[in-house]
A and B are shown apart, each in its own frame.
With several copies, the nearest count.
Chain A
């Protein structure tokens, strides 16, 4: 047993942290909030150049190699800096889906530009009224001659604005859920953009008879394999949440040491101390489980229960740490010009991303069969 990072992992952590400190100050995030993800792409490509996007993708596929623990380390730092989670969509979901379900040709063609950050492919798998983790999708893909024709509506597609291609989950004629690569500008695609609490943008996407070639399907795709990819992304996102939670907590601790009220630093008040101690405990709990889950994913492969547990705990930790940290800042906490609010506005999003909080407990203790 060993609870430390290896020398190499420490190097990764420091490299990522330094990179984001330099390339992703909060001013950059504010710029993206105002203008959208296109302003993020230069940084994103640099992340690709640094090899960050290729973590946990084998080198033979253009990745940087490394483990799920390395990926957790990277995401913790990304969360700390509140870097847009395009990498989760494009690499940890789509990239890993290609790895496990794609054809050799798909992998060869698509993985290198994904891991270099040159291309963004984003998954489109949420549907209105879809019961999470069940394969009953209403979007259908009908085989016609040498093509598939897709019809249906997808919701909450992240990074749509910068994606060249969507990875669309749809039911084929046999009733199986399959994954299809669909160029974003295909005829028959309409979208409607929404602004989130975080000021991120997501798109609802209507596919109205969108034709794609036969090779657009990921040949080994099926719903269970997709859920396994989702589980992996939940671990990555949990790492993001842990990093963000800790950053918010750090800011609150620092502020509470210098902010004086009643002739003493507010951090000396017991009620505030206990609030921050509670947040610290939740972060520690989530982080411990995070590295266990990441290690398990690396060593054993599939670990749906642990992925669900850590998604739940890390989401809670981020939400509660961001709340406590914002409250610590008193009236300043919710002023746009303060940075702590950036964390608060993203906490609930991270809970809902990839797979919402409502389904995690169902996975941890399933209903009696």
Chain B
């Protein structure tokens, strides 16, 4: 047992903090409003310039060959600073990590360095109108035609489809497979492909997600990521676990609980003292989750696949996000309902309460996480 960070970790954290102090500005947010998602190309470029994209990737693919704890520290500090890392998550974790985990050498050599240089952004297309929690029921069809695959169907709820160069698309390549879990393959599809239409879906969280219509979208055979018909296995073994751990927003939890603690110190009122104790109880859970997040990163560094822990950290942190936003709203009182950067705590509590749904639903609902914990973690029988 050793809970110490290395000096390299500490230096990295300090560097991130310094960077965010300088670079995370109000302008950034104003400019993002147009983009419609938590992403800012200029800011993203700066991250690339610092060498902070692909921290955990081998040097031969443009990475820095650092441990996964660096990535966890990166997210924590970025979230603490409310820095925009939405497309970073999509490009680097959901897609980039997947390419590293089960892509072929050619794909790794093509995509990873470009992602690391900030030249190429990605998004991840799994859900369909009729395949949400039951993602394996997806129906988007990829049929073979000569050396190509032709994609037909729909995807929905995709973050950043409109801001990405490539999409990682889960498609059905063998409709006759014995189970729905067999016969799924993944493809890396240029988002500007002919036949691919993107419709914005606006969320109450302010950011947009998208619905995509694939009308005979043609990709070469080489666009396939991972072995044919093993897509579902790769998704559940790799991508979804990466996703779950990466959306556990410990940094946001730390920041908002710090700010609410400060708020209670300055704005004293009768109910505040009582809420201070509720906040303290949440704080204990937040600190526990912080270390659970480090543990998940460390498990990856050990070459393990922490499926159970990834579901746990996701379920725990989203529950904390919701409870913190709700308590925060009570702490701020009516003022906690005001929108915008001039509202108390720059409107972050209000925004979190409204945007909580990205975290609740993304990477699988709380019910799905609990199913996984019960069945994989505790070994309870399926129905």
Contacts and interface: CB of A to CB of B under 8 A. Distances in A.
Contacts, number: 246
A331 B334 contact: no
Interface string B187-218: 00000000000000111110001000000000
Secondary structure call for the A interface = helix
A65 interface: no
B177 interface: no
A1 B2 CA distance: 5
A57 interface: no
B326 to A, nearest CB: 7
A336 B338 contact: no
Contacts of B270: 131, 358, 362
Nearest to B6: A1
B370 interface: yes
Contacts of A349: 337
Nearest to B360: A327
A365 B261 contact: yes
A345 B329 CA distance: 13
Contacts of B284: 289, 308-310, 312-313, 360, 364
A335 B361 contact: no
Interface in A340-362: 341, 344-345, 348-349, 351-352, 356-362
B380 A253 contact: yes
Contacts of B312: 280-281, 284
Interface stretch (A114-122, A167-175, A191-199): A191-199
Contacts of A334: 203-205, 357-358, 361
Contacts of A295: 1-3
A155 interface: yes
Interface string A177-209: 000000000000000001111100010000000
B265 interface: yes
Contacts of A288: 288, 291-292, 295
A341 B381 contact: no
Interface string A255-294: 0110011101111111111101110110011101101101
A207 to B, nearest CB: 19
A331 B280 contact: no
Interface in B299-355: 299, 309, 312, 315-316, 322, 326, 329-330, 333-340, 343, 350, 353-354
Given A262-B134, A364-B283, 8 more contacts: A155-B334, A280-B373, A280-B377, A319-B326, A348-B336, A358-B330, A365-B264, A365-B277
The 4 closest A-B pairs by CB, nearest first: A358-B271, A273-B374, A334-B357, A361-B280
14 contacts: A1-B294, A3-B298, A156-B335, A270-B383, A277-B369, A285-B288, A286-B288, A291-B1, A294-B1, A308-B284, A323-B322, A331-B361, A334-B204, A358-B330
